[in-house]
Amino acid sequence: MLAKLTSKNQLTLPKSITTAVGATEYFDVEASNGQIVLTPVRIQRGDAVRTKLAELNLLEQDVADAVAWARQEPAIKATRQK
C-alpha cells in the first residue's frame, strides 16, 4: 500500500492498517535498515498505573526502592542477588 508524505511531514495511514493494529493514538517511531517502523503504543493513565500497583500490593516506597536498585552499578546488583 502507498501512503503519501505531505509537505508538513504528515503521513495518513490506510484504514485497513489502523484497523489491523487496533485503536491507538500513539506510535513509537524508529528507523531501522532504511525503513520506518511504527509500533502502536497504548498510553496508560496514571490512575490505571496506581490501580495496578494497588492490586499488586506495591507501595510508593517499593517503587522507589526498585528504581534505586535499577540505577546501581551492575557489580552491586550482582552482589545483592546472591
Q: Are 26 and 41 in contact (CB under 8 A)?
A: yes
Q: Residue 77: what pLDDT? A: 63
Decide if 1 contacts 17 (C-beta within 8 A): yes
d(CA 80, CA 56): 23
**Domain locations along the chain:** 11-43, 46-81
Question: What per-residue confidence (pLDDT) applies to 33?
Answer: 96
Q: Which amino acid is at 5?
A: L
The per-residue pLDDT for 81 is 66
Top-confidence residue, 72 or 73: 72
Q: Is 20's pLDDT higher than 80?
A: yes
Mind listing the pLDDT tens digit for each residue in 32-47?
A: 999 999 999 888 778 8
